[in-house]
Structures are given as structure tokens and as C-alpha cells.
Amino acid sequence: MGHIYLIGFMGSGKTTVAKELGRLLERPVLDTDQLIEAQHGPIKDIFKREGERVFRAYESKVLRGIKVKQAIVATGGGIVENQENVDYMHYNGFTIYLQASFREVSKRLKNDEARPLWTADQHAQNLYDHRFKMYERSAHEHIRTDHKTPLEIAAIIARLIELRE
Ligand code: S3P
């Protein structure tokens, strides 16, 4: 078993679940957004300064730059926009879609100003619908996260991993 990649829409809890899962499985935890920010500064500024295309290039690069073994990787919500990233994750591990409802992510991201693609209007709903299909296609497994705690979700993933090993 290689890495465990968590994919899903903004606000679906990938980062928090990754930390819980890291504790349960005693594996290192990484986050592609944090890796990008460590090198290039806040995501909001990257979008403003260099645009989404450059951000996507940074994202693909940090995904491929992960050198630790068997990591839990929380990915940015748009990682699936590039099919090569999806193929890369399939080849290098196990991909899990954390599926939160639009209603739930809207609630969580209500006052969020750090995510340039979150607009809390019809655009966000359209993006959600478009991405939904991409996540479904891209994941080995998916988990509905509404009404579950991060620890419960991590425990479900740990069981799935056990079954595969
Ligand atoms: C994005 C999601 C964000 C971040 C960037 C773009 C997207 O990550 O990578 O703002 O395109 O959905 P989270 O999913 O961690 O919020």
C-alpha cells in the first residue's frame, strides 16, 4: 500500500480527517495546500499574483514531490482538474473521496476568505456539481461525511485500508 490520498470539495474536511487518520495509522500526514503555501505564500495571493494556471502547476509539482513513504495526503479540492494528477494518485496509492453535501460545505465556508474559488453563490454550486462527477470517477472509495465526526470518518478509512492490506 502506498499513500492514502483524500480528495473532495473545499470544506469537506480533508485536512482534519487526514490528521486523525495519521494518528490512527501512525503515518505521516501532508497537505498539498500547505506544501504550496510553504514555498509560495498564501494561496489567495498566488491566485491574485500569478493566476489559477500557475497555482495548478505548483499543485501538480508538490503532489509529485512527496518523498516520504506511505503518507496520508490531504489534497486541494481542484487536484482532480488535471487527469494526470488523478492517474498519478491511482498509481501511487489509494484515493478516497470525502463527500460532503453542498449544504454542509456552504455552512462551513460561510465566512471563508482564504479560498479564491469559493464565492458562496451559484458559481460555487456549479463548481460543486462539476467536481462531484470528477471525484466520483477519480476515487477508489467514497465516504459520505455529513453527520460524522472526523474521527468516525478516519476510523472508516482505517477499516477500508485494513481490508485491502
Ligand atoms: C481549491 C481548493 C483549495 C485550494 C485552492 C483551490 C479548489 O483547497 O487548493 O483554494 O480548486 O477547489 P481545499 O480543498 O483544501 O479548500
- The confidence score (pLDDT) of residue 103 equals 96
* DSSP string computed for 33-93: HHHHHHHH--HHHHHHHH-HHHHHHHHHHHHHT--SSS-EEE--TTGGGSHHHHHHHHHHE
CB atoms within 10 A of CB 30: 21
- The confidence score (pLDDT) of residue 94 equals 96
Q: Whose CA is nearest to atom 16 of ligand 1?
A: 10
Q: What percent of the chain has pLDDT over 90?
A: 92
Atom of ligand 1 nearest to the CA of 12: 14
Pocket of ligand 1 (CB under 6 A): 10, 14, 33, 43, 76-78, 115-117
Mutate to test the pocket of ligand 1, among 10, 56, 123 (most ligand atoms within 8 A of CB): 10
Domain ranges, ordered by start, for the chain: 3-164
Q: How far apart are CA 62 and CA 71, in angstroms?
A: 13
pLDDT tens by residue, 1-42: 799 999 999 999 999 999 999 999 999 999 999 999 999 999
Q: What is the mean pLDDT of residues 49-55?
A: 97
pLDDT tens by residue, 111-135: 898 999 998 788 999 999 999 999 9
Q: What is the mean pLDDT of residues 140-148?
A: 97
Confidence of residue 144 (pLDDT cuts 50, 70, 90): very high
Confidence of residue 165 (pLDDT cuts 50, 70, 90): confident
Q: What is the CATH number of domain 3-164?
A: 3.40.50.300
